[in-house]
Chain A
Amino acid sequence: MRAEFAKTIQKFAEKDKKLIFLTGDLGYSAFENLRTSIQERFINAGVAEQNMLDVAAGMAYTGLNPWTYSIAPFLILKTVEQIRNDICIRNLPVKLVANGGGYGYGVMGATHHILEDLSILASFPNIKLFIPAYSTDIEPIVSKMNKYNGPSYLRLGLSPLKSSSYSGFRNVQKGKKATVIVLGPLLKNVLEAKSILNQDIDVWVVTEIPFKPPIEFYKSIAYTKRVLVVEEHVLHGGLGHIITNDLIRKSIKTKFTHIFSKRYVSKLYGSQEFHLKESGLDAKGISKNLKQLLNG
């Protein structure tokens, strides 16, 4: 999705002279065209992420529109205090664009993965989180972030899927036997799992936090009484916690299964697919969980 993002942000930056793009020394073979196009508004802030985010906050205070970019953990873990104090509590429109959601950087290792971002960021005030599922989600999401006069976070992953419509909480395929809710680009694995099982499953994809599900979503659960949540994030504070909290508050009774990142099960490293498989987040693991849920 990084290529789509680079193209889209260039389009927005060429129109808006207040848009400043700051990168933490990353973006090789992705942002060269953007740099040529917007010149001094493209800032390589060096390998100094805390400074970069506070510089962006200072710029936003004066009315500029700063977008910041780095590999996810460097952008949002090293800088949690800057994000909380100077961006979120202060409610400034600083944009945080993080590459490599979840295990996206694969064999680069644990330092390059992000499995806790939603938990941390969703606990801060004013911030909106975006987790695109389709490559075509980038444009509507960048547009929303650009308009929102508060902080926002974009978790970039990989997705071969395309869609002609966008909504932060979407019904992707209708079905009657179970209700599956998946976070962002893992939709691909859920759809594969569904075709392995060849069952009538209702599939929803979440690309925004916070979200407000439509009434059809609750109707689906009332009918199927079987819920599966799938996410590339640890148990604590992720999509599963948000969904279960919502269902309990609404006194909705259902069978419930949650597949989430179990970090490094074998303590061995590999590709994103390798790590997803270890946590049961590949198509096979999802179909196995789904089968148990359907038979339960």
Chain B
Amino acid sequence: MKKQLHKKLHEKLVTLLFNAKAGHIGSSLSCLDILTELMVYTMKKDDKFILSKGHAVPALYVILHYLKKITTKELATFHMDGTKLPAHPSSYYLAKDIPFATGSLGHGLSLASGIAQSYKYFMKGKNKNIVYCLISDGECNEGQVWEAAQYASHFQLSNLIVLLDKNKFQAFGRIENVLGDSATKEKWEAFGFEVLESDGHKIDDIQSSFKNALSSQSDKPKIIIFDTVKGHGISFMENTLASHYDVLTPAQYDEALGDLNKL
């Protein structure tokens, strides 16, 4: 059942991007399973989610459509003139579910920390709510990520769970060839986080990593480092830099659907 939903959302996402002639397919597919488990099966009312890697917003749109926060008519306007759903989130729409217009990397963890600190220390009745933030491994190049990591750790934002989509690629190369792996377990531990690791596509693994993070009694903020595949589910796109940019041709779209059918 769950597996069927994951498959359906993969198909929906790829169709959305194909129809819109849009890119960022690889980066959206690498986090789709994580976001589905998070938003459909894990988050509670008044929990918050910040998508710091804003270029993966098509994955978020597809899930919010499934959750009836975005209408079918609205989703059909994605990427087009006059849309509320641009290729990086809007500042003017869906503020409850997409609190900030991300797209410039590095901002999300600070924004999420502000919400988490507010909930934990200053807002009555919200101290049980969790703030989630999805970042990417390439994004860990940004200095602000580490400013935020020090901050979240110092202020013991134990209600903050960072989800790291480690797909091993950034915009113009493999992470090890650009600045090296900025997203290691050791680095995040050194910055005072409780670090969990999980496969980013096996549903049971994702779910048990959420359970472990949520049941932790530690005062530390948590990070789950998800081992993911860029372009997950489409054979000719998996682990390629091109999947960050390329738009599917009709023949590729058919092939992609064939691949996804085997998921």
Chain A interface residues (CB < 8 Å from chain B) = 18, 20, 40-41, 43, 45-46, 48, 50-51, 53-64, 66, 81-82, 85-86, 89-91
B111 lies within 8 A of A58 (CB): yes
B121 lies within 8 A of A58 (CB): no
| Cα separation A51 to B146 with both chains bound (whole Å) | 9
A51 lies within 8 A of B110 (CB): yes
A56 lies within 8 A of B114 (CB): yes
Q: In the complex, how many angstroms separate the beta carbon of B161 from the nearest chain A beta carbon? A: 15
B118 lies within 8 A of A50 (CB): no
B142 nearest in chain A by CB position? A50
B150 lies within 8 A of A46 (CB): yes
Dominant SS at the A interface?
helix
User: Counting CB contacts under 8 A, is B112 at the interface?
Assistant: yes
The 9 closest A-B pairs by CB, nearest first: A58-B114, A54-B110, A51-B147, A48-B147, A55-B114, A62-B118, A58-B115, A58-B111, A51-B110
Contact of B114 among A18, A46, A61 (CB under 8 A): A61
Given A50-B110, A54-B111 in contact, is the A62-B119 Cβ separation under 8 Å? yes
Contact of A55 among B101, B113, B123 (CB under 8 A): B113
Q: Which residues of B contact A63 (CB under 8 A)?
A: 118, 123
Contact of B151 among A48, A61, A82 (CB under 8 A): A48
| Cα separation A264 to B246 with both chains bound (whole Å) | 50
B122 lies within 8 A of A86 (CB): no
Given A48-B150, A48-B151 in contact, is the A61-B107 Cβ separation under 8 Å? no
A48 nearest in chain B by CB position? B147
User: Counting CB contacts under 8 A, is B144 at the interface?
Assistant: yes
Q: In the complex, how many angstroms separate the beta carbon of B163 from the nearest chain A beta carbon? A: 17
User: Counting CB contacts under 8 A, is B148 at the interface?
Assistant: yes
User: Counting CB contacts under 8 A, is B210 at the interface?
Assistant: no
Q: Which residues of A contact B116 (CB under 8 A)?
A: 58
B114 lies within 8 A of A59 (CB): yes
User: Counting CB contacts under 8 A, is B136 at the interface?
Assistant: no
| Cα separation A60 to B100 with both chains bound (whole Å) | 12
Q: Which residues of A contact B143 (CB under 8 A)?
A: 50
Interface residues as binary, B91-135 with A (CB distance below 8 Å gives 1, 0 otherwise)? 100000001110110110011111111110111001000000000
Q: In the complex, how many angstroms separate the beta carbon of B93 from the nearest chain A beta carbon? A: 12
A64 lies within 8 A of B121 (CB): no
| Cα separation A57 to B107 with both chains bound (whole Å) | 10
Known: A54-B110, A57-B114, A82-B107. 17 other contacts (CB 8 A): A46-B154, A48-B144, A51-B147, A51-B148, A54-B114, A54-B148, A55-B110, A55-B151, A57-B110, A58-B111, A58-B115, A58-B118, A61-B99, A61-B100, A64-B122, A89-B101, A90-B101
Given A51-B147, A58-B118, A59-B114 in contact, is the A85-B99 Cβ separation under 8 Å? no
A86 lies within 8 A of B115 (CB): no
B100 lies within 8 A of A86 (CB): yes
What are 9 residue pairs bridging A and B, where the CB atoms are less than 8 Å apart in the complex? A48-B144, A51-B113, A51-B148, A53-B110, A58-B118, A59-B114, A61-B115, A81-B107, A85-B103
| Cα separation A86 to B116 with both chains bound (whole Å) | 16
| Cα separation A40 to B155 with both chains bound (whole Å) | 11
A64 lies within 8 A of B148 (CB): no
Which of B111, B113, B116 counts the most chain A CB atoms within 10 A? Answer: B111
Q: Which residues of A contact B151 (CB under 8 A)?
A: 45-46, 48, 51, 55
Q: Which residues of B contact A45 (CB under 8 A)?
A: 151
A40 lies within 8 A of B121 (CB): yes
Q: In the complex, how many angstroms separate the beta carbon of B139 from the nearest chain A beta carbon? A: 14
Q: In the complex, how many angstroms separate the beta carbon of A202 from the nearest chain B beta carbon? A: 43
Q: Which residues of B contact A41 (CB under 8 A)?
A: 122
Q: In the complex, how many angstroms separate the beta carbon of A5 from the nearest chain B beta carbon? A: 23
Q: In the complex, how many angstroms separate the beta carbon of B131 from the nearest chain A beta carbon? A: 8
| Cα separation A184 to B144 with both chains bound (whole Å) | 34
Q: Which residues of A contact B155 (CB under 8 A)?
A: 43
Q: Which residues of B contact A85 (CB under 8 A)?
A: 91, 100-101, 103-104, 107
Q: Which residues of A contact B99 (CB under 8 A)?
A: 58, 61
| Cα separation A20 to B122 with both chains bound (whole Å) | 9
